[in-house]
């Protein structure tokens, strides 16, 4: 039998990982299956644009994986059993158990609204394509004169607020954040951010911790009421509870605890990448949930899988976080560089130049996903006797 590699999730980490593995592993020895809840690769970094009404190009996974030998299973993952090495999936026809020999867990993240009353019932979000489309329909219903409240002060909140304000000038847009808006930016970057909010007419409510979302808006901890005809929750991300329920070793936030090679510290044969993985970066801090982290952790995970299964030396991918690239509508942006301690450097790229850079990043990521094997010659490495290495074993 061929060695069965199952990849859970086909986002920025999972889709590219599957393509990389397909290009480097001998298909006579390996069977690669990708499980994803949707039939398309979703450009998550563009979902705020989709919510604001800008249609996105479709990237069908079946078309992306055509000719690669990758098997696609469109279904939702409902459970993982690392002891029995099975994954339970569900679709419109029922449930199925998929057996694996090696597992790459890249199910990503969703909104973090736990513990805040009313988020599930009344708030919108942009952490998934169906959710972004739902918000878009709501904004269409509002027409002119509605009020949109974006809760949060992170990158997603900033990009969502500015995109909606620019694309739908008839709406009033406000942001409520528990801290300072863009408080982590260097002075020049933050001044540029605040000028963009002023230009777009976005009201900013700082040091306003929202503790309840209602049908007609949100209520802060100090009793302040923010009236809104649509409330968008963008106050952080959380991982799906599947990993914790499976018995895999996880951190307090549910992310899978991995070693430097992206191997689960508790279960041999399980690897994690992207938002699902809790890994310490080069600066000694956990890598944040981001597309940039997904790229580095994907590269390390695939290198480890190939090395563990074929006996080749495993190279170390630098696990770094270089900066924040923030869209401020279609023609404005900020790229804020950070140092080794994840603190903002004085230098930043701003305005149209930063917007062009962000557009280049987005289009490059989409191209990479649409060409999972990069059209390059294959290096077909053969399966050797599998010895799942202990977490402490890393390449020097």
CA angle 202, 42, 214 (to 5 degrees): 45
Ordered by where they begin, the domains of the chain are 3-108+240-321 (3.50.50.60), 111-233 (3.50.50.60)
Confidence (pLDDT) at 370: 72
pTM: 0.91
Element (DSSP H or E) covering residue 151: strand 147-151
DSSP β-ladder status, 94-99 and 86-91: antiparallel
Q: How many Cα neighbours within 13 Å face the side chain of 322?
A: 7
Confidence (pLDDT) at 321: 78
Question: Which has the minimum average pLDDT: 79-83, 118-122, 148-152, 373-377?
Answer: 373-377
Confidence (pLDDT) at 388: 55
Contact assessment for residue 105 and residue 9, using Cβ atoms and an 8 Å cutoff: yes
Confidence (pLDDT) at 343: 82
Residue 387 scores a pLDDT above 80:
no
Tell me: the pLDDT tens digits for 114-157?
789 999 999 999 999 999 999 999 999 998 889 999 999 999 99
Element (DSSP H or E) covering residue 239: strand 237-239
Contact assessment for residue 168 and residue 52, using Cβ atoms and an 8 Å cutoff: yes
When the pLDDT of each residue in the chain is averaged and rounded to a whole number, the result is: 90
Residue 391 scores a pLDDT above 80:
no
Residue 7 scores a pLDDT above 80:
yes
Confidence (pLDDT) at 395: 35
Q: How far is CA 379 from CA 1, 26, 54, 376, in A?
A: 21, 8, 40, 9
Contact assessment for residue 276 and residue 77, using Cβ atoms and an 8 Å cutoff: no
Confidence (pLDDT) at 376: 58
Length of the chain: 396
Tell me: the pLDDT tens digits for 167-218?
999 999 999 999 999 998 999 999 999 999 999 999 999 999 999 999 999 9
């Amino acid at each position: 039998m061929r060695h069965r590699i199952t990849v859970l999730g086909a986002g920025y980490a999972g889709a590219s990982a599957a393509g990389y593995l397909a290009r480097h592993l001998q298909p006579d020895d390996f069977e690669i299956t990708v499980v994803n809840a949707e039939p398309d690769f979703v450009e998550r970094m563009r979902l705020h644009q989709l919510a604001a009404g800008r249609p996105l190009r479709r990237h069908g996974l079946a078309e992306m994986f055509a000719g690669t030998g990758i098997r696609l299973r469109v279904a939702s993952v409902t459970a993982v059993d690392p002891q029995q090495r099975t994954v339970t999936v569900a679709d419109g026809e029922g449930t199925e158990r998929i057996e694996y020999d090696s597992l790459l867990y890249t199910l990503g993240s969703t909104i973090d609204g736990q513990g805040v009353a009313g988020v599930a019932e009344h708030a919108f979000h942009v952490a998934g394509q169906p959710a972004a489309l739902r918000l878009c329909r709501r904004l269409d219903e509002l027409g002119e004169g509605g009020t949109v409240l974006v809760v949060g002060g992170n990158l997603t909140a900033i990009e969502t607020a500015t995109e909606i304000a620019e694309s739908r000038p008839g709406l009033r847009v406000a942001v409520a954040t528990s801290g300072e808006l863009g408080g982590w930016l260097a002075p020049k970057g933050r001044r540029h951010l605040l000028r963009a909010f002023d230009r777009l007419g976005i009201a900013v409510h700082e040091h306003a911790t929202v503790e309840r979302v209602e049908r007609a808006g949100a209520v802060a901890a100090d009793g302040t009421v923010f009236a809104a005809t649509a409330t968008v929750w963008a106050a952080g991300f959380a991982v799906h509870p599947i990993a914790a329920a499976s018995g895999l070793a996880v951190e307090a936030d549910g992310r899978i605890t991995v070693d430097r090679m992206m191997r689960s510290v508790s279960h041999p044969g399980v690897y994690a990448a992207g938002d699902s993985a809790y890994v310490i970066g080069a600066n000694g801090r956990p890598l944040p949930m981001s597309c940039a982290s997904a790229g580095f952790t994907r590269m390390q995970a695939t290198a480890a899988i190939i090395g563990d299964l074929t006996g080749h030396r495993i190279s170390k991918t630098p696990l770094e976080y270089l900066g924040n690239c923030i869209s401020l509508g279609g023609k404005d942006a900020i790229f804020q560089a950070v140092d080794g301690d994840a603190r903002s450097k004085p230098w930043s790229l701003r305005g149209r130049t930063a917007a062009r850079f962000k557009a280049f990043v987005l289009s490059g990521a989409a191209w990479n996903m649409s060409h999972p094997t990069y059209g390059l010659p294959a290096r077909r490495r053969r399966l050797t006797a599998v010895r799942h290495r202990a977490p402490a074993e890393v390449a020097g």
